[in-house]
Amino acid sequence: MTPFRSTRLGAAAAATALAAVFALCGPVTARAEPAAAPAAAPAAGTDWLHTDGNRIVDENGDPVWLTGVNWFGFNATERVFHGLWSANLDTLTGQMAQRGINLVRVPISTQLLLEWKNGQAAVSSAVNTWANPELKDKNTLQVFDAFLATARKYGIKVMLDVHSAEADNSGHIHPVWWKGAITTEQFYTAWEWVTDRYKGDDTLVAMDIKNEPHGKPSESPRAKWDGSTDPDNFKYACQTAGRRILAVNPKVLILCEGIEVYPKDGTNWTSTSPTDYDSVWWGGNLRGAAQHPVDLGAQQDQLVYSPHDYGPLVYQQPWFQGDWNRTTLERDVWDPNWLYLHKNNTAPLLIGEWGGFLDNGPNEKWLKALRDLIVENRISQTFWCLNPNSGDTGGLLGYDWATWDEAKYALLKPALWQENGKFVSLDHEVPLGGTGSTTGISLSDLYGTG
């Protein structure tokens, strides 16, 4: 998801309601910068993560719980976080940490990664330098580096998500990982480049290979999931990208999302009939992982599956008709599509997107049901989203990018990692909220230094 969700299931597109918001920000300027130098490596860290059955653990084998939020904008035409047109980067990052967010999923585009790789990073006019004087004259790559440094200061970890091939506010609508001049090989190369640049920085702990691959049986292109090496097989693409990333940094987590449809028993991908397929949210169908699991080879313990799930205000799915509740959702939707991977101890899950408006009705009922499932099973998650300008979900912030939606935050708060009344960071040295935090602790505070 980016700002617009009305097209999630291929319904008519456009989300022009927010066009004015983006128009106010303007595009990036044309001024290019010299080729990017490697990012400065921080002090040697011990914060890399891996998996153990259905758990994510630290290097000592202690379980961790990744509980975070999405903050989009780097994926869009502005090429930087939305909100920097009025809010201060350090202030927002510090507030997230103080409120218990220990991971930020950062949507980005392959196009932007290639621009960075080729020394074409530009200065974005969507950054208000009065609100962010420390970002004055910084190009988009330098803004990202500034965010990583700020996240490190506050004990927050970061996950990159290739949200779209092109830098486009509606880029998530395109169903696959290649588009136009962006080829599959460039998609892999972009991932290798960014992994190499940050391989010494354990602030960036996870790579979400591609946001919401999807497509209906009759559509072309569309993403499928099987044992082939076909160009449109997302299982193969995620596996290939994951292996190439891990060849550069074997300690980073690899997240593989699902697709949209999967053939029912007795049918296969040659059918174009919708009734031959089980259908769910974009990125939410991981049925294929049962017979065709992603194979990362020697680094299989870096694999995390990452479904997305939404409520009836995003789309009135069939399972929201009639009398439904958490039991029916778990039985009819979550179990067969992705929760089985957790229950069978196959691999950890990280629900990369879930969220929505509080309506005192069905959508809120769904939100609480999924929240309770997350909490009871300690499933990792990144809530959609911090941004207020997400068309059919809203965000944790108001349109002033300063006021928090306290009711929505209160709904999310139980799904943020807390021990003994304090929020827990994924950093062994820095408490969540930074040095001297009164709301957070570090992993060493929780587990000791052994």
Q: Under a CB-based contact definition with an 8 Å cutoff, are residues 309 and 366 in contact?
A: no
Residues 6+ apart with CB under 8 A from 436: none
Which of 246, 251, 276 shows the shortest CA–CA distance to 261? 276
Using CA atoms, how far apart are residues 302 and 248, in angstroms rounded to an integer?
A: 13
Q: Of 432, 331, 414, 421, which Cα lies nearest the Cα of 374?
A: 414
Write out the catalytic residue numbers.
Answer: 212, 353
Q: Print the SS3 string covering the chain.
A: CCCCCCCCCCCCCCCHHHHHHHHHHCCEEEEECCCCCCCCCCCCCCCCCEEECCEEECCCCCEECCEEEECCCCCCCCCCCCCCCCCCHHHHHHHHHHCCCCEEEEEEEHHHHHHHHCCCCEEECCCCCCCCHHHCCCCHHHHHHHHHHHHHHCCCEEEEEEEECCCCCCHHHCCCCCECCECHHHHHHHHHHHHHHCCCCCCEEEEECCCCCCCCCCCCCCCECCCCCCCCEHHHHHHHHHHHHHHHCCCCEEEECCECEEECCCCCCCCCCHHHEEECCCCCECHHHCCCCCCCHHHHHHEEECCECCCCCCCCCHHHCCCCCHHHHHHHHHHHHHHHHHHCCCCCEEECECCCCCCCCHHHHHHHHHHHHHHHHCCEEEECCCCCCCCCCCCCECCCCCCECHHHHHHHHHHCCEECCEEECCCCCCCCCCCCCCCEECHHHHHCCC
Residue 342 CB burial class (10 angstroms; 0-12, 13-18, ≥19):
buried
User: What token pair was written down for 442?
Assistant: 């570090």
